[in-house]
Chains A and B, each alone.
Chain A
């Protein structure tokens, strides 16, 4: 599920994750859902689980139930006891108040570009089951609650067409434009709320603050084809530039919005019909800085597990958005399959797949993060001693280490053995052969309406792909995905590319499918522009997975699942089937920081005009919530980040706010990556 791209996973819970992670997410929703209501739901869920089929988990569920009920009770009290006029403007939360006193004033217009799942969607035309919901929110607050009673209907409307990746016939769902009114409080929006408030404090308002809403389900180029979203953004930026006394804009993209804006940068200078026809000078004329927040430049491994298996504990975000959908009996145990079917129609998910293959993400026996030590339990930042600085020695050093380094490069391994053994001991991939024999598909029509593409595959081939001792790297991964989800990959690969360009002058790179991949596009010719990579560090972030074949051979079940029984010893990076690395909980440092730290640093072939880049890391400090948090979404409320944005918007340059600020190993990792610049 793509939607869980932003979820808050608590890796330390195993069985209780389903309940507790969802409740922590629901905290965000209870602005719109009455607290009593959600408490009831918790109880209901608790009751259901008690009588549920997995009776062996009874006791566990009871414990979880009690925990959750207590949690809700506390939450309830917390909200009730707050004064009725909830004052949002806690002085601490408003760095702008302080900065304003210092005389800071907004100068440059600001454009916000939201990421995946954070934008609202509303219904413009629908099937009979959605009568009366015209222009009501399907996603993100509003009339959303009404659809909870009809989860299947809701999912149907959120799906896109299986083949075109555009609207299915008879359904039109469109993004909610503009800066959402604050009266629509919904999980996704609190994301921007604090930032917008702070910007308003130093003088921003509708005329110099714009939210570039787009349909995050579509591939980037399709947002232009269907909604003219890119043209709108261009016209808006031009207007703001002119209307504010020819002041260049500061763009603040978040998460997937980063890739979207990269796409925009290329689109705008490409001549029509494929591009916007702004000419080569457009960016340098209109853009002062791009402050990328939690950028997923090189993709996220999480996207892989989402596509492959829509993992159970990953649906937390979905659950938070619509508690009823998954709990309701209508979907029952097949909820995951439904969710998977819907999310596989979303092209944008594919844009989040790891880019750059083995060069960036590591191969069977090597990965840039090799020296990473997973001692997150103490929440202490690990720093290498100066003696480790010698990069040349690092390969040799590994041999002598007591513990083998984690093989992060194997993004998917089947069985724990496959994830640790040396590559020479693994069987060679036979995927190609399987692909050949897949002619003998047994399409099982008895599998009913909830079929996923898996049902079209023979069980035998599934078993072969997932045979024990198999491992897939960021490169071979695509073969696997093409095999298990051929339609989706077919469709999406026409819109996205995940490789590394050999020769950027090749005319084929003028095609839009390369525009959102920083390794296959050149930055615009705008030497005065600045690019910031701002992200949180110090939170365990999913990096690779240990999978197993699901025991059930029945149809309608997803054949793969994360092997949650696999655990490393204390202090290891492996927890319940997932290897963790440094990052902001969703995006690994590698993906967020590499381009700024190396790929674009100075004058490279990806950055021919030498645009200045700055890496701004925000270290996670306990407690990891609230104003100091650096988690992927929460970071938008981080005061240090907000202060940086305000200063840039008020005219400061990257040097003036302190240049690079690095806590992680990103520089060392980058050095180890052998990318021709």
Chain B
């Protein structure tokens, strides 16, 4: 899964860990007029104010693909890899093994090169039907802080934050990494590993051993959804829930500081599920350059990856939620066309003066229909809806149920659906966030049937309907109520200013029988230089992975004040961090980065986190801190509150 892909190679974690004086005297920096700025330049180990000390215990909830997985039981081909990391960390052993084999047996190359990566993919896959372990294989999450401090060697995730917290006195007893198997659906982590119970018990322990101080939870990326699920789970009665009672969150949680949270899903996950796009496999490339560069999987790499990732239920938690109400219809979208990557002015109260905003980029605005998440052909993407001829998907679904038998050795679900269906998919031309679900149901019925039991993507009409007590609704903020905890605080912290995938232009491939029949039409380019359409992808404002809309809407509107989603009126704060690329190579991934993962090394964000952990409230941090047009967009969304 390419959810968090890596594009820059330089490692900067070390320099950031211990050198605190790298804050550049940059203009943009002045936005953060914090008294702490001088202290960045002070000596190591004492970067933070003396006044900041350990106060609230901290819980980290890692996101998708950043947590490590290790092997507990495997097939013959994985012998000797017991408790070695299959994912994350340094991939040390796996990699070494690969290298050794490569060098030692050049003659046998073909044999081994096929065997080892296949073996790996086999072990990383889950069971196609149950979404749990395949027989004879047990791959389990690594526990402890080491689980997600670095994703790959030198590629930090939590390490910088941990190092900074340690400087003000945090240690093992006051920090906890809630590692879970990110491949499973959320409820299955409890079924298989009792992960949710563990998190509950650990939070209770930390609160008890730290003098009743409530915890500050810091979920990142998919961890945000996971923790939403947790908050519902913990208060739900057994057997489905944790039986903590309706007071649990109020008693144990001070604040939830969501970093880069895809509350309402990410369009990228659609393209991931739909076609495992080439530019999206960067992650796989990161951990094992050999796999892809040396054609280990041969031409069938994508099919292999697709088959593997399609067994992961968790990928379905990030399909866009809320349908057309949130993501826009055929001719309408909350963003309009206002994305302008140069816009970096702080506009905390932008609601009052946004009237002129739609006029900024009038030239580009005309043809961007973000609401059409997938369109077949550039002309279709740009034409008005009345001009598009569409063949109804459901009709063709009934028409043809014949699968063509294939002799491809790589089996994916596409081979079960016939050519007619593929044609039907393309004939429907345009898919919005609502119809995208139909599309996915159409092309991969098994996957969606499995996922549908664990996740839901709609908007609740009546939250008191008893059906919403089922766990499949718990990770969808539009179908759950926040816990009754008026003293808790919810932060939405995310980067802005980076073009983020929002909608796609697709084409049907004609290549071979065995390949994936759909592909992003990379030839589709926008007209002008700063057009939103590049290489078949329409971009909007965001942190490179999660669009602002998804990360900020709940805090900006859905949960703001007392709403039906937030009955107790938990205060919410939006903290945006404007992206500034690293000033030079030495700086590596930058101290002001807003990118989805790199933001974990953003000093401003770290400062916010540390101050909250040391006891500050959202008001004391300065309340909302907004660069994007999120409030304006939120106004346009017609969501019943």
Contacts and interface: CB of A to CB of B under 8 A. Distances in A.
Contact of A243 (B166, B198, B205): B198
Interface residues of B, number: 48
A266 to B, nearest CB: 19
Contacts of B82: 88-89, 182, 197, 200
B83 A196 contact: yes
Nearest to B174: A228
A201 B74 CA distance: 10
B17 interface: yes
Given A181-B146, A231-B205, A134 B197 contact: no
B244 to A, nearest CB: 13
A476 to B, nearest CB: 41
A206 B68 CA distance: 13
Nearest to B105: A84
A142 to B, nearest CB: 10
A257 interface: no
Interface stretch (B121-129, B135-143, B228-236): B135-143
Interface in A174-219: 174-175, 177-179, 181-183, 196-197, 200-201, 205-207
Nearest to B197: A243
Interface in A229-276: 231-232, 235-236, 238-239, 242-244
Contacts of B172: 124, 174-175, 177, 227
Interface string B127-165: 000000000001011111110010000000000001100
B107 to A, nearest CB: 15
A84 B104 contact: yes
Interface in A336-356: none
A396 interface: no
B320 to A, nearest CB: 33
A86 interface: yes
A134 B140 contact: no
Contact of B166 (A125, A207, A227): A125
A205 B84 contact: no
Interface string B89-115: 110110001001100100000000000
Interface string B2-27: 00000000000010011000000000
A175 B144 CA distance: 12
A85 B18 contact: no
B379 interface: no
B201 A239 contact: yes
B46 to A, nearest CB: 10
Nearest to B92: A183
A134 B85 contact: no
Interface string B45-86: 100000000000000000000000010110000011011110
Contacts of A125: 45, 166-167
B44 interface: yes
A150 interface: no
Contacts of A128: 44
A182 B84 contact: yes
A174 B162 CA distance: 14
A198 B228 CA distance: 37
B194 A134 contact: no
A172 interface: yes
B191 to A, nearest CB: 11
Interface in A25-81: none
Given A205-B72, A227-B173, A232-B205, A239 B198 contact: yes
A243 B192 CA distance: 10
B93 to A, nearest CB: 6
A242 B197 CA distance: 9
B208 interface: yes
20 contacts: A85-B100, A131-B44, A134-B17, A134-B18, A135-B163, A177-B172, A178-B144, A179-B143, A181-B83, A182-B83, A182-B93, A183-B84, A183-B92, A200-B72, A201-B73, A205-B72, A231-B208, A231-B209, A235-B202, A239-B201
The 10 closest A-B pairs by CB, nearest first: A243-B194, A182-B83, A235-B205, A239-B201, A228-B209, A178-B144, A84-B100, A205-B72, A228-B173, A231-B209
Given A84-B100, A236-B201, 5 more contacts: A131-B18, A182-B93, A197-B82, A206-B193, A243-B194
Interface of A: 84-89, 124-126, 128, 131-132, 134-135, 172, 174-175, 177-179, 181-183, 196-197, 200-201, 205-207, 227-228, 231-232, 235-236, 238-239, 242-244
Interface of B: 14, 17-18, 44-45, 70, 72-73, 79-80, 82-85, 89-90, 92-93, 97, 100-101, 104, 138, 140-146, 149, 162-163, 166-167, 171-173, 193-194, 197-198, 201-202, 204-205, 208-209
